[in-house]
Amino acid sequence: MRIRVPVALIGALLLTTAAGTAAAQPLLAAPDPDPFYAAPADIADHQPGDVLAVRAMPALPSFPDTDVTLIKFRSTSSEGRPIAATTTALSPHNRHPDGPVLSYQQIINGLGAQCAVSRELYTTDPNLMIREAPAWNVVLQRGWTMLLPDHLGPGFAYGAAKLGGQITLDGIRAAQRVTTLNIAHSPVALAGYSGGGMATAWAAALASSYAPDLHLAGAAEGGVPMNLVSMLEVLGMNRHPAFGLALAAGLGLEREYPDRFPLTEQLNDRGLAMRDKLLNSCTNDILAAGAGAGAPDVARTTSMTEDPTARKVVEENSLQLYAGIPNMPVFEWHSPIDGLIPVDAIVDTDHRYCGAGVRLWSEQEPVPDHLTAAVLGLPSVLNWLDARLRGEPAPSNC
């Protein structure tokens, strides 16, 4: 989820069901035209993190003196099915064998293949281009290898936060098994903000149970929507310029949980038409399709009652409600009066981690803005990550 685009704006639509028969079936993302991304027929015979294919990619002018490698690997869907996922490794020429690795979970807004990070790296569309290249070059110039997972998965399940954590962890496993990268014994850290922060935070919380074989140096997670339920309940059915991305998040959850989250059944004719425009779209087109709308405009009925099955899906993707604890140090930063993210959910999660013994350092950036807080926190984040990757003991201000 990109800044100023809360998943929660879908409001009651995501937490309720409408009466009546299904209006239409959910629409899945179009298959990627590049067969490299497809799952092999024997995907079920592989274990999470197994390398399925490796492709050397063309050099990128934005990242000089850097090799680019696309890795396909086996991961797991939110409901336990085997899937094929991808991560892109940026390897600076000045790296050392088993040098530091940073898995960076980029913010991804989209429902189509062209929205993936591995695609955006090579796009010429200024609306899709990776805008973080200057910051990434700072990391690459330090000799760190970067991993950039396509953490929405092959179905582009925008909004499925737990899935992002699993893909992130399996992407690290896979990259460590690619011998040409020389990172099999590297110290590895995680970082991400907002939607990328969700994937990062879920990876940190899931690591001990989902990937106990990994030994991660730390996770820097910023502006994390820790509780999607509370976001939905607070923002409800408000109209908003960014409603399109909120609806896209609901459609992404429907893709990931087709039997438990039947959002399409709730849409009226306008909602179905909007859904069709969102299919396979990225940020700008999604925003344009839903600008100024709200749940009352796209729902078949406004007298909906809560559906516990659909609500459970949202709860399962709310980190505040997940019992798991990170088995690594955590750096967490946010705005103290963030208009998009429920800060009380962040504070509560931090307190729970502290109570469980996590070495956590939390910073509040003195701005009332989600995006500005992301930028202001970067110097502290980079210093913290550098210390963790050098093996220094983690500080805590619990």
- Give all domains of the chain, ordered by start, each with its CATH number: 1-398 (3.40.50.1820)
In the numeric block, which tokens belong to residue 142? 């330090």
Q: How far is CA 203 from CA 39, 117, 170, 325, 369, in A?
A: 23, 18, 10, 10, 25
Question: Could you tell me how far CA 119 lies from the centroid of its own chain?
Answer: 16
Give the whole-angstrom CA distance, residue 188 versus residue 67: 19
Question: What's at 267, amino acid-wise?
Answer: L
Of 204, 218, 245, 220, give the one whose Cα is nearest residue 108: 245
In a 3-state reduction of DSSP, which class is residue 310? helix
Distances (CA, A) of 67 to 58, 60, 117: 8, 8, 16
Query: What value does the CA radius of gyration of the chain take, rounded to a whole number of Å?
Result: 20
pLDDT tens over the chain, length 398 residues? 433 333 333 444 454 443 344 446 677 888 888 999 999 999 999 999 999 999 999 999 889 999 999 999 999 999 999 999 999 999 999 999 999 999 999 988 889 888 899 998 998 765 555 667 778 899 999 999 999 999 999 999 998 999 999 999 999 999 999 999 999 999 999 999 988 999 999 999 999 999 999 999 999 999 998 998 776 655 445 677 778 877 888 899 999 999 898 888 888 999 999 999 998 888 788 888 888 888 888 888 643 346 788 889 989 999 999 999 999 999 999 999 887 778 999 999 999 999 999 999 999 999 888 888 888 999 999 999 999 999 999 999 99
> How much is the pTM?
0.91
* Distance spanning both ends of the chain, measured CA to CA: 28
Tokens of 4: 């100023």
